[in-house]
């Protein structure tokens, strides 16, 4: 086998495990950037692109994932879940770079139903916490990007102003492919484009963004008791946000 296909991040169930066939994974400097090689052979993505990035730190982290996959030795089984950063890199290279408009359109869909804009009327504790924890980020969006979103505490959806959506589209169009790839992971997990942008902007850590996004769930569990299934679901979403933040940090580590 000369090349290694990588399954990009997907909402579909994880693929079956595969058998590790390499001994050594390493990051290699090339004229076009930093590539990941397995026993000297390039890793190729499903569309045929070589797994190559512009950051040495990111390439070394990607190589580290491949080195650890399957227990770190030839013959072990590995799964896509072992290659979480690799899947974000694959999205950046094969999905976003060729068609940025598609992912921008998806992200704007979250702005139309922005989590921070939907408020409750009760219980009073949650009403107060939403105001305290969510209002500052809507104000940050207005101050940072000149975008003002509408909020509601009713049952009907709120239509966001066309100028606000146009402003957010302009913001997204100005982001590099790597940031869009990270948002493509973080925003669905958070349910919030605003919090995703704050994460990309370095104003929130992964843990802070997740805590803000799960305010409703955390308050409900505080009032009514822990729900093991919901807690497990939130843990999985938190891992996605952490992956996105790690990817961003590594992507810019060399600059």
| Residues 52, 48: Cα–Cα separation, whole Å | 12
Q: Per-residue pLDDT tens for 220-250?
A: 998 888 888 999 999 999 999 999 999 999 9
| Residues 224, 195: Cα–Cα separation, whole Å | 26
| pLDDT for the residue 74 | 87
| Residues 73, 70: Cα–Cα separation, whole Å | 7
Domain with CATH 3.30.2180.10 in the chain: 18-96
Q: Per-residue pLDDT tens for 205-222?
A: 999 999 999 999 999 998
| pLDDT for the residue 73 | 80
Residues facing 28 on adjacent strands: 35
Domain with CATH 1.10.3580.10 in the chain: 100-252
The domain 100-252: what is its CATH number?
Answer: 1.10.3580.10
| Residues 23, 244: Cα–Cα separation, whole Å | 28
| pLDDT for the residue 15 | 54
Residues near 112 by beta carbon (within 8 Å), at least 6 away in sequence: 160, 165
| pLDDT for the residue 11 | 36
Residues near 30 by beta carbon (within 8 Å), at least 6 away in sequence: 52
Long-range contacts of 186-189 (CB under 8 A, 24+ apart): 186/240, 186/241, 186/244, 186/245, 187/107, 187/110, 188/11, 188/110, 188/240, 189/213, 189/237, 189/238, 189/240, 189/241, 189/244
Residue among 191, 202, 213 at smallest CA distance from 248 = 202
Angle, helices 84-91 vs 56-68, to 10°: value is: 130
| Angle (CA) 198 204 208, round 5° | 125
Output the tens digit of pLDDT for each of the chain's 255 residues.
Answer: 334 333 333 333 445 788 999 999 999 999 999 999 999 999 999 899 999 999 999 999 999 999 999 888 888 999 989 999 999 999 999 999 999 999 999 999 999 999 999 999 999 999 999 999 999 999 999 999 999 999 999 878 999 999 999 999 999 999 999 999 999 999 999 999 999 999 999 999 999 999 999 999 999 998 888 888 999 999 999 999 999 999 999 999 976
Q: CA Rg, the chain, in Å? A: 20
| Residues 198, 196: Cα–Cα separation, whole Å | 5
Q: Is the omega angle on the peptide bond into residue 252 within 30 degrees of 0, that is, cis? A: no
Query: Residue ranges of the alpha helices (H) in 54-93?
Result: 56-68, 84-91
Look at the domain 18-96 and name its fold. Answer: ATP12-like (3.30.2180)
């Amino acid at each position: 086998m000369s090349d290694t296909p990588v399954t990009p991040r997907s909402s579909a169930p994880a693929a079956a495990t595969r058998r590790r066939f390499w001994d050594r994974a390493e990051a290699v400097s090339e004229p076009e950037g930093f590539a990941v090689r397995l026993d000297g052979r390039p890793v190729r993505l499903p569309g045929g692109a070589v797994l190559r990035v512009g950051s040495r730190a990111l390439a070394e982290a990607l190589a580290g994932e491949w080195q650890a996959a399957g227990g770190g030795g030839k013959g072990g089984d590995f799964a896509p879940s072992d290659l979480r950063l690799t899947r974000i890199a694959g999205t950046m290279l094969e999905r976003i770079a060729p068609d940025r408009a598609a992912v921008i359109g998806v992200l704007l869909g979250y702005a139309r139903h922005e989590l921070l804009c939907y408020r409750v009327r009760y219980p009073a504790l949650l009403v107060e916490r939403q105001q305290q924890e969510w209002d500052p980020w809507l104000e940050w969006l207005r101050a940072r990007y000149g975008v003002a979103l509408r909020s509601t505490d009713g049952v009907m959806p709120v239509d966001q102003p066309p100028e606000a959506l146009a402003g957010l589209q302009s913001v997204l169009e100005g982001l590099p492919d790597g940031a869009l790839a990270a948002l493509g992971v973080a925003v669905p997990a958070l349910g919030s484009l605003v919090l995703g942008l704050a994460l990309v902007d370095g104003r929130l850590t992964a843990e802070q963004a997740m805590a803000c996004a799960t305010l409703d769930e955390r308050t409900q569990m505080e009032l009514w008791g822990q729900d093991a299934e919901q807690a497990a679901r939130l843990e999985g979403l938190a891992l996605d946000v952490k992956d996105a933040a790690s990817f961003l940090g590594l992507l810019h580590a060399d600059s």
